[in-house]
Structure 1
Amino acid sequence: MAALLFHLRDVPDEEAMAVRDLLAEHDLAFYETEAGRWRLAVPALWLVDESRLEEARGLIDAYQQALHERVHQEHVDARARGEAPGLWDRLRQHPAAVLMTLIALGLMLGLSLLPFLTL
């Protein structure tokens, strides 16, 4: 019986391709399901041989840990060089989005507190 191995929803194409290559490299038979036209199904990689689930899970976990460490180090290096955008840089790049978010938060807060303020 097949076992769900790796969800593909919101996974970058590069990472999904790397996981597919990793499974193929270790001769782990798998198949892929897509989300479908209305995005109701589960886009995922399924392991055909459930008895090798721990092996496959270990490979994916090791890959994701290495990916996390690499991306984190790249971010730390970019911040050290002053190339990573900070909070103020992001606010300056998207002032309309920030303004709309603040207005929406104010409205939600006002509507939430209105019953208590009218007591």
Structure 2
Amino acid sequence: MAKLLLNLRGVLEDEADDVRAMLDRARIEYYETPPSIWGISAGGIYVKDNSDVPEAKRLMAQYQSQRRARVRAEQEAAMRDGTAETFGTVLRNEPVRVVLTIIAIAFLLGLVALPAVLLRG
């Protein structure tokens, strides 16, 4: 019976490609399910053979550890260089998106508070 190794919800394409390549190098058979049309399932990468699951999980843990270290190093380097994305840079680059997001948040907070306001008065 196949076991889920990686749920693809929120996974960047380069990370999924790395996992596929890792499984190919280790000669672990796997298959991938696509995301559903309605967004209920994001898809996943499954290991076909149960005997390969421990090795796949070990490789996955090793890969995630290496990726975490690399991404953190890249983020720290960007912070040192001043090229890291901050709220200020997003506001300068996409002011309309930021303003619309703030309006949407205020609207949703108003909807949440509306029942309390109506019951009070």
TM-score by length of 1: 0.82
Q: Distance in 1 between matches of 2:79 and 2:42?
A: 37
Give the number of aligned pairs: 119
Following superposition, the deviation at residue 40 of structure 1 comes to 5.1
Pairing 1:1-119 to 2, within 5 Å after superposition: 1-35=1-35, 37=37, 39=39, 43-117=43-117, 118-119=120-121
Unaligned runs of 5+ in 1: none
Unaligned runs of 5+ in 2: none
CA 1:8 to 1:116, structure 2 compared with 1: closer, same or farther past 3 Å? Answer: closer
Q: RMSD across aligned C-alpha pairs, in angstroms?
A: 2.2
Pick which of 19-28 and 100-109 moved more.
100-109
CA 1:33 to 1:85, structure 2 compared with 1: closer, same or farther past 3 Å? Answer: closer
TM-score by length of 2: 0.81
- What is the DSSP-based 3-state SS (H/G/I as helix, E as strand, rest coil) of the residue aligned with 1:10? coil
Q: Distance in 1 between matches of 2:104 and 2:98?
A: 10
Q: Distance in 1 between matches of 2:100 and 2:71?
A: 31
Percent of matched pairs sharing the same residue: 34
CA 1:97 to 1:30, structure 2 compared with 1: closer, same or farther past 3 Å? Answer: same
Q: Distance in 1 between matches of 2:102 and 2:41?
A: 35
Question: CA offsets per residue over residues 17-39 of structure 1, 9 Å max, x none?
Answer: 21111112112111222225555
